[in-house]
A and B are shown apart, each in its own frame.
Chain A
Amino acid sequence: MEKLLIPMICKVDKVIQETPDIRTYRLKFREEGMMDTFTYLPGQFVEFSLLGSGECTFCIASSATRKGYFDCSIKKAGVVTADIHSSLEEGDEVGIRGPFGNWFPLEDIKGKNLLFVGGGIGLAPLRSLIQYCIDNRGDYKDFTILYGARTSSDMCYKDEIKEWQDNPSLKVVLTIDRPEDTWTSNVGVVPKILEEVVKPVIENTKVITCGPPIMIKYTIQSLLKLGFADKDIITTLEMKMQCGLGKCGRCNIGSTYVCKDGPVFTNEQLKSLPDEF
């Protein structure tokens, strides 16, 4: 066990300041060749350690289809993340354990219409899947991304969103909570835009959503109202985790280990869990 808890050392290749409190760290393994053995699928997470400060759980925000690196987007929330933001720059080293957890049901969504609904930092796990799907575009039908943030400056991955917008095979809908002078796109909370602007096709569509708990709650309500089945709504769950290995017991919800059986769940699965998340 103890050995499984030892992290591998990664070097920060690039730091992107996404928003005032979100940074994306592009990481590469210090030892060459390690990257090849580090195989992961969209939805999985890593344990990210700033040695001496502590460990934190972050999802991988990039797809393994983009070779040579992986991204973690980190929002300043607690002690360790504040430390990461204040100290971690290009060339610095961090410890990484993983990848852990399950992944988005890649087989299930094949051949389906995909609707991504993201809010704030919640776009990070979706981005991994979006990249994966773009790189395997042929496997999927219609492709819609709805992304909302509090303000335009709180939007992550601005450059990449631009690329997506320019991609004719994707439909991108952006929204912010309150109007801004320079903002020409939608204004309003995500569920509202979902119902009023996106108006998704229900048949043969899988919805993948992630964002702040309150957004997920209302988005799922909207989706159900629109007629989606629980099994077609897929989300990722946030829970305190420490080992990532299904041992430390922290992420237990009933008999479920979020770090092993999750973090990706369908709404159907979530409904069967005790209400403790």
Chain B
Amino acid sequence: MSFSTFVTDKAGLQKFYEAIMASQETYAPVEKFGKFDFKRVSALAECDPESPIAKTMSIKPLFFPRTAKVMKFVATSAGTDVSEVDEDPLAVKRVILGVKHCDARSLQVLDKVYNWDYIDTDYQNRRQNTVIISTRCDKADTHCFCTSLDYDVENLDAMDILVVHGTDGKEYIKARTEKGNELLSSDVTRHASPVTEEITAPVLKSQYASFAASFRLKMNYKEVNEKLSKIFDTPEFENVSGNCVSCNTCAFVCPTCHCFKISDEKIKDTGVRYKSYDSCNNGYFTLMAGGHNPRPAKYRRWRQRAMHKFVYYKERFGENLCVGCGKCTISCPVNISIFEVVNQVSAAAMQE
């Protein structure tokens, strides 16, 4: 089945966005303190769908909130009552626009872990109720390496609607899923005109070509993945993690890190159980009550992080966990690049 595609100009694209904001609950990158975070918006002036990738937080919190209330409880001598939290505000029908491809891809990757065995229904609800409008980047950032990984960026189907700034100066709006198609078939596209695949295909192709040519970072994913899976015990991990300050920023900004912790907080008789982000770089992450810690040293935790991104998840779920967005590198106070790390480790391991 083919989905519809529209073409318009810059003003038309803006009108398209505004029309969505007017008719849908919309999230878009909003600038605060020089950083863009996805927030609820009602007008284009509040946000910037073209926010620079280096300054934009991931969309993960819209599906896996930084802190989510698991439940409320009341504990009195009369008994303990556990109640579900009120309606999930993230599960309403909504549109997220200004999403980068890497972010969109991250959801595809996360779907695997949330849908194996126990199905995370909250995540599912949020996913199903969300239409993701992803704009293809025109140029790679210094730390981007999405094209080097195990997924096809050009034909990525992780978004519902794809927006491409055509090399011909026109804006192409292309539905990629049924959900996206449905949205495009409403009157939000009244300022754009339908266009056929024959016309769009070459434009998109040339846009992608120039985008793909702009990457500074390139790696041979297959090789790296293969080598890493064999070198668990390499001392190189100790070298590459030397200047890490264990600040955990990487995990918090990473679009695919999904570790969390559960904590209770109680005031008077009532309490709330929260689920919040956690990071495997924390020394206490695996610390057990008796005092045993399987990963006490920093390099072990670093190894866990790198291996989980590039080996373990792939082994388990068939996808690489890292999507190559470079957010961790940009946020790192000491500029450690995971790209460099995995390359360095696998290269060093080869020499051994």
Contact = CB atoms under 8 A, between A and B. Distances in A.
Q: Are any A and B Cβ atoms less than 8 Å apart in their complex?
A: yes
A200 interface: no
B113 A247 contact: yes
Chain B interface mostly helix, strand, loop or mixed? mixed
A246 B258 CA distance: 11
B221 interface: no
Contact of B123 (A1, A52, A250, A277): A1
Given A2-B71, A77-B290, A240-B287, A51 B261 contact: no
A247 B289 contact: no
10 contacts: A2-B71, A52-B73, A52-B266, A54-B264, A79-B289, A80-B289, A246-B117, A252-B304, A254-B312, A277-B294
A14 interface: no
B82 A247 contact: no
A152 interface: no
Given A6-B84, A276-B294, A243 B123 contact: no
Contacts of B121: 1, 3-4
A227 interface: no
Contacts of A3: 84, 121-122
B139 interface: no
Interface residues of A, number: 44
A247 B75 CA distance: 28
A47 B122 CA distance: 20
B290 to A, nearest CB: 5
Contacts of A246: 113, 116-118
A50 B292 CA distance: 22
B113 A7 contact: no
A30 B82 CA distance: 12
Contacts of A254: 307, 312, 315
Interface string B67-103: 0111101010001111011001000000000000000
Contacts of A247: 113-114, 118, 120, 258, 260
A53 B262 CA distance: 11
A243 B262 contact: yes
Interface string A12-53: 000000000000000000100000000000000000010111
A51 B289 contact: no
A7 B114 contact: no
Contacts of B264: 49, 51-55
Contacts of B278: 248-250
Interface string A226-261: 000000000000111011011111101111000010
A245 B70 CA distance: 14
Contacts of A77: 289-290
B303 to A, nearest CB: 9
Interface string B225-251: 000000010000000000000000000
Interface of B: 68-71, 73, 75, 79-82, 84-85, 88, 113-114, 116-118, 120-123, 232, 258-264, 266, 271, 273, 275, 278, 280, 285-290, 292, 294-295, 300, 304, 307-308, 311-313, 315-316
B258 A2 contact: no
Interface of A: 1-7, 9, 30, 49, 51-56, 77-81, 93-95, 213, 238-240, 242-243, 245-250, 252-255, 260, 274, 276-277
Given A3-B122, A52-B271, 13 more contacts: A51-B266, A52-B75, A77-B289, A93-B80, A238-B288, A243-B262, A247-B113, A247-B258, A247-B260, A248-B261, A248-B262, A252-B280, A276-B304
Nearest to B83: A6
B122 A81 contact: no
Nearest to A238: B288
Given A80-B289, A242-B261, A4 B316 contact: no
B69 A2 contact: yes
The 3 closest A-B CB pairs, nearest first, are A78-B289, A249-B259, A1-B120
